[in-house]
Amino acid sequence: MGSGRQEYGPDAVDRVSGAWAPDLARWGKPHYQAIVESLAEDIRTGRLRAGTRLPTQRALAARIGLNFTTVSRGYVEAHRRGLVEGRVGQGTFVVEPVRAPRTAAPTRAAPVDFTMNLPPEPDDPALLARMQASFADLSGDLPNLLRYQGFGGTEADKDAATRWLAARGVAAPRPCLLICPGAHSALSSILGQVARPGDAICAERITYPGIRALAAHLSLRLVDLPMDRHGVDPDAFAAACTRVAPKAIYLNPLLQNPTTATMPRARREAVIAVARRYAVAIIEDDAYAHLCPAPPPSFATLAPEITYYVAGLAKCLGAGLRLAFLVAPSARAALPLGNALRAATVMASPISTALATRWIMDGTAEAIGQFVRTESVARQRLVSETLPVARVTADPNGFHVWIDLPEGWTRSAFASQGRAAGLGVVASDPFCVAGTPPEAVRLCLGGPSTRLQIGQGLEQLGHALEGSPALASTYI
C-alpha cells in the first residue's frame, strides 16, 4: 500500500507512470486487435479513466513481449476508434468513454473543404502503423538528423531519389540531381537562374497559382498560352517565341492543376520541337507522376538537355513532407541552382529527407502511393455518379476535378453558395494567367475528409448545379 500502486485485475494501470499491461491472451484475436479490445474494456469498466497517460509504444512492446510495429498498429486502431488521443510532446492519453467511436459515422458527416489540393490521407491501420514505425525508427539517429547536413542529401538519399525517379522513367545523373525543400523552392531557384527581372516566361493560360506567385515575386512577365484538352497549343507557343522571346516555358503536363489535362506524347514532342527551335528551357512540374498507371514519357525523358524536371512528394505522399527532387539538364546548370537553393534554404530538412529515403527504400512510399491511387479512383467514381458529367473535367487517377458552371451561375456566386453550405471550392480566378477567368471552379477530393464526407458534399454541390442560382441568392 505504501507504494501508491493499486491493481485492477489482469489489465492494470499505474496512473502516475501510465504502466498499463493488457492481458492479450483472453481475446483470441490478433495481438494488435487484442490491445484495442483491452483498452476498450478497461475504459468501459473504469479501470482506465479519461486523461490516463498510456505507456509509450516502445515501452508497451517491451513489457508484453511484442514487436514495435504490432503495438503501433494497435494504438493507431485505438485512435481511429476514438479511444485515445495523442498530444504532441506528451504521449497518448485515454479520452472520455462517452466519445463516439470514429467507426460509427453520423448520418450526416461534417462539412467538407474541397479547396486544398491534398492526396487522400491513409486510414488503413496497418499502413498507418507502418508509417508511424518508420518515423519512430528515425529517433535512433536523431542527434545526427538535428545537425546541419551537406546540401543536396547524402548518397543514401540520392540513391532513394534515383529509385523514385526511375519508376517514372526519368534518368537522374548524380551531378544533375538536387534534393530540395519542396517543389516551390525548386521552381523558384530554376526561375531565378533562367530569367532576369522583366524577362518573359510562358505558361498555360489556366495554370498552377504557385507559378503566378513566383513570377510576380521575381518580377518576371508570365505570358499565357491558349490550351485545349491536350495542353498548350504548340503553334501559339511558337508565335509567343517570336513575339516575346521567352526564357522558359512552365508546364504541369500530367493531371494538370487545375484542369486535370494530360499532354499526350505527340503534343509533348511538338512543344519540344518549338522549344529547341527557339532555345527555350522547359520547366516540367511533374507533381502527379506517381498517380498514373501508364503516364506518357516525361519531357525530361524526351528532351533531357533542355528540361528542368521537378518531382515533388507533396501530391503523392503528403504535403507536410516538403521535399522535391530536381533534375537539371546538365551538371553545369545544376551548380548555380544548388548555390541558389543553399543560399535561400541552407538545406532540405534532414528529418524529412531521411523519412522519405526510408519510405522509398523499404516500400512504404509505394504502399502509400497505392492507397492514394485506389482511393482517388473510388472518389472519382463518386464524382461521376453525383455531378453532371457534361460539366466535369476529370481524370480517373487524380484527386481534383474542374467544373464548368451552367449558364446563370457565376464562379463567385457558386463559391459563395458552397461556403454557405460549409463546402469550400476554389473559383477559377487564381489559376488564370491573363484575360477573363472562365466561369469554373476546382474541387479537390483528398485531405482528411472521408469518402462518406466527400460523397455527401458532392451531393450538395450536385443539387446546386442542377438548381437555379436565383434560388440560391436568397440565402447567400
Q: Give the three-class secondary structure for 251.
A: strand
CB 393 within 8 A of CB 404: yes
CB 158 within 8 A of CB 174: yes
CB 122 within 8 A of CB 371: yes
Mean pLDDT by 10 residues, the chain (476 residues): 37 51 85 88 85 86 84 84 78 69 45 88 89 83 81 87 96 95 95 97 96 96 96 97 98 96 97 98 96 94 98 93 95 94 89 93 94 95 92 94 93 86 90 94 92 89 78 48
Give strand pairing partners of 222: 201
Q: What's residue 269's pLDDT?
A: 98
d(CA 254, CA 208): 12
d(CA 11, CA 24): 9
Longest CA–CA span in the chain (Å) reads: 90
Q: String of b and e for 213-234 (b: at least 16 CB within 10 Å)?
A: ebbeeeebbbbbbebeebbbbb
Query: pTM of the prediction?
Result: 0.81
19 exposure class (CB count in 10 Å sphere: 0-12, 13-18, 19+): middle
CB 353 within 8 A of CB 145: no
Q: What's residue 122's pLDDT?
A: 92
d(CA 153, CA 168): 20
Q: What's residue 135's pLDDT?
A: 84
Cell of 231: 495542353
d(CA 98, CA 46): 12
337 exposure class (CB count in 10 Å sphere: 0-12, 13-18, 19+): buried
Pairing relation of β-strands 281-285 and 307-312? parallel
Q: What's residue 111's pLDDT?
A: 65
Q: What's residue 268's pLDDT?
A: 98
Q: What's residue 15's pLDDT?
A: 46
Give strand pairing partners of 12: 21
CA 384 vs CA 20, 144, 168, 202: distances in Å = 49, 49, 28, 33
Beta strands in 322-375 (DSSP E): 324-327
Q: What's residue 12's pLDDT?
A: 43
